[in-house]
């Protein structure tokens, strides 16, 4: 039993160690868009802009007002 626990712990460390020590130069941003009455705003068009490079990324909210910008370059956005 001790061997099995030790093997499982070692496997866990090996599988997830890369994510523990890795660095990324991208990030994500998510949220929900609502109106003044707290109702979701579906199909709202959103844009994130990287100030230094000028790169723009567009997305649209879901029926429930949720949005996700995935893999944005690191830096300030507007």
**Domain total for the chain?**
1
Assign 4 a pLDDT band (cuts: 50, 70, 90).
very low
Assigned domain for 4 exists: no
Assigned domain for 78 exists: yes
Assigned domain for 13 exists: no
Assigned domain for 14 exists: no
Assigned domain for 40 exists: yes
- Two tokens, residue 47: 């844009």
Assigned domain for 75 exists: yes
Domain range for residue 54?
25-78
Cα three-residue angle 28-34-37, rounded to 5 degrees: 160
Query: Which tens digit of pLDDT belongs to each residue from 29-71?
Result: 999 999 999 999 999 999 998 888 888 999 999 999 999 999 8
């Amino acid at each position: 039993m001790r061997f099995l626990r030790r093997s499982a712990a070692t496997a866990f460390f090996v599988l997830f160690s890369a994510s523990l020590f890795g660095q990324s130069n991208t990030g994500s941003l998510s949220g929900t868009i609502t109106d003044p009455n707290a109702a979701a705003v579906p199909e709202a068009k959103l844009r994130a802009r990287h100030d230094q490079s000028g790169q723009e990324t567009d997305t649209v909210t879901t029926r429930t007002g949720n949005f996700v910008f995935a893999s944005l370059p690191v830096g300030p956005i507007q």
